Amino acid sequence: MRTFLFDYGGTLDTSATHWFYVFQKAYENMGLSITEPLLREAYVMGERTLAKERIIMHDDDFATMLSKKIKIQVEHLQALEILNLNNDAQKEQIIANLANYCDSFARKNVAASSLILSKLKENAHLIIVSNFYGNLHAVLRSYGILHLFNEIIESAVVGVRKPDPAIWQLGVAASGLSAEDCIAVGDSFNKDIVPASSIGCQTVWFKGREWEDKTYNESIPTHIIHSLSELLKFYD
């Protein structure tokens, strides 16, 4: 039985829109005018802080994780005097509103993705291969899709992160198949497609809006899709 190795963040929860742009839209919806370079700086600060420090707990659902991440962003913007908030209550309300927007966005996309995953699972095994914070089981459970996956390969648990091909090799090992019989699906060309291709996997690039607007070698992926439902065209 064929196996799909799915990236999670950006692939199943945002429909190939980099998470930075989801946050950017959330801030705009709140009427918070922040230049893109400064918001990118705050975004990177959040990502790096969560990668270095034990802030995310294994049972944090996505809404809780978002609140912690956004708190770091907001406090960084406050320190730069970009956000001038009157008191802690105002700060907490802004964090809650931003987190609610992002959680709702992700929940909607995951629900749509689950329909495709359920169809694929009729004839395949599904494995997650993801850079995440140690709480991916809790996130998938809270969104009602944990049962769809045979294995979860999570960077914080296995101790290796994309773009290292070794994390994709762990996905292949979990499948019990050869790399050639595994289909890696992800939105990041450099973190998903290049390393998975390098170990011999078939690859499907879910092409959308990446962190940077670059030109990539589109001969590398086996297939390129612009909607997750297109997987059914190639692998139904």
What pLDDT, on a 0 to 100 scale, did the predictor assign at position 94?
96
pLDDT tens-place string over residues 20-44? 999 999 999 999 989 999 999 999 9
Q: Is residue 114 within 8 Å of 144, Cβ to Cβ? A: yes
DSSP 190: I
C-alpha dihedral, 42 to 192 to 112 to 225, nearest 10° = 120
Distance CA 182, CA 190 (A): 18
Q: What is the mean pLDDT of residues 52-77?
A: 96
What pLDDT, on a 0 to 100 scale, did the predictor assign at position 51?
86
- Is the pLDDT reported for residue 236 higher than 80? no
Fold of 2-17+108-235: Rossmann fold (3.40.50)
Provide the residue ranges of all domains of the chain, joining segments of one domain with +. Answer: 2-17+108-235, 19-107
Kindly indicate the confidence band of residue 86, based on its pLDDT and cuts at 50, 70 and 90: confident
Distance CA 22, CA 65 (A): 15
Distance CA 86, CA 116 (A): 46
Q: How far apart are the first and last CA of the chain?
A: 13
Task: Work out the angle between the directed axes of helices 62-79 and 88-121 (0-180°, nearest 10).
Answer: 140
Kindly indicate the confidence band of residue 85, based on its pLDDT and cuts at 50, 70 and 90: confident
Give the type of residue at 28: E
Tokens for 100, please give them. Answer: 């609610």
Tokens for 16, please give them. Answer: 């190939």
User: What percent of the chain stands above pLDDT 70?
Assistant: 100
- Is the pLDDT reported for residue 1 higher than 90? no
